[in-house]
Amino acid sequence: MNEYEDSQRRRLKALQTAKHHEKERLAAEMEAMCAQYRIRIAGAGQEVERERDLFREWQERKETEHRRISEAASACAPNAGRLMLRTMSGSIAENFALCACLSLEAQTKADLGRTSKSKQIAALPRR
């Protein structure tokens, strides 16, 4: 009976030792996998930050280009630059074309104003 009990105790001890080693091996394997996933997660976050920075830089370049075009357009027609800044949602070409049209319109109105003043002066009674 003692012999049987000792063999069962040894068998239990061996099973405990084997299961303990297996548990340690699985924990190490799980930690290695978690470390790999942490690296991938951090890399994804860094990639998003890089793309966000690139997008921000592009927006700044776009703003600078809009201001530059607006300043150039305002030299042609003073109100065109202000309007262009309000219409920045369109393409640069569309905005430039709009400013050119506004410039022509402003010039035409100015010319018409001078013409109508000339006609008004001519229509005044002479002394």
pLDDT at 51: 97
Query: pLDDT value at position 72?
Result: 82
User: At residue 126, what are phi and psi to the nearest 5 degrees?
Assistant: -95, 145
pLDDT for the residue 1: 80
Domain boundaries, the chain: 2-123
> According to the model, what pLDDT value does residue 79 have?
59
Regions of the chain short of the pLDDT cut 70: 77-127
pLDDT of residue 70: 85
Angle between helices 78-86 and 2-76 in degrees, nearest 10:
160
pTM equals 0.46
Kindly report the number of other CB atoms within 10 A of residue 82's CB atom. Answer: 13
User: Rounded distance, CA 52 to CA 42, Å?
Assistant: 15
